[in-house]
Amino acid sequence: MIYFVRHGSTDWNDNKNSEGIKCPKCQGRVDIPLNEAGIKQAKKTKDFLKDIKFKRIICSPLTRARQTCNIVSNGTAKIEIDDRLIERDFGEFEGLTRSEFDFNGFWNSNSQQKFERAETIKDVETRVFELLDELKKNLNDNILLVSHGGVGCVLMSYFKGKPKDGNYLTFEIPTGSPLILDFNNENDL
């Protein structure tokens, strides 16, 4: 089984606009720590996972994911850092809010957007699918992956199939949330 946890909230996840409406900033590779809400989310997830014995625990190298991992991991395995779980490189869009560029197009594989520096969905798929193909060789192991929202969207497409309309945001999961995925039940979640 794969237990996927998206890191807890950061100040950029919880950013609000001038009217006080939540307006997240795109973090990508910017190394932002958890905020108090994110720490609470991770502690809640730890309680959810407390009885699971993990064969492997694999984490993104970014601080927010490592902090989450340190909280939710239950000491049953050493934490491995793997760059394949790092968040998508938002390039020229990092630090912008979702309303300041075509965020939906950015997460749609059918989009014709061209990027100056940002990583493509295909690039994210390549590295995440490579890791999952390796992990699939041990179907009976419980494996904890701690990563990011964008990685979670791509990871879901591995199990459910790529979105027919190209919209990877249909797979977005909330910060701090756990997701249980079974290689034996691909496309049947």
**pLDDT tens for each residue of 30-88:** 999 999 999 999 999 999 999 999 999 999 999 999 999 999 997 779 999 999 999 99
The structure's pTM equals 0.94
pLDDT confidence tier of residue 135, bands split at 50, 70 and 90: very high
For position 121, which CATH number holds? 3.40.50.1240
Q: Pick from 188, 83, 77, 86: which is nearest to 138 by CA?
A: 77
Task: Kindly report the length of the chain.
Answer: 189
Total domains present in the chain = 1
> Could you tell me the two tokens for 159?
């199990």
Tell me which amino acid residue 17 is: N
Instruction: Indicate whether 188 pLDDT > 50.
Output: no
Q: Which domain holds residue 24?
A: 2-185
Report the alpha-carbon distance of residue 34 to residue 16 in Å, rounded: 16
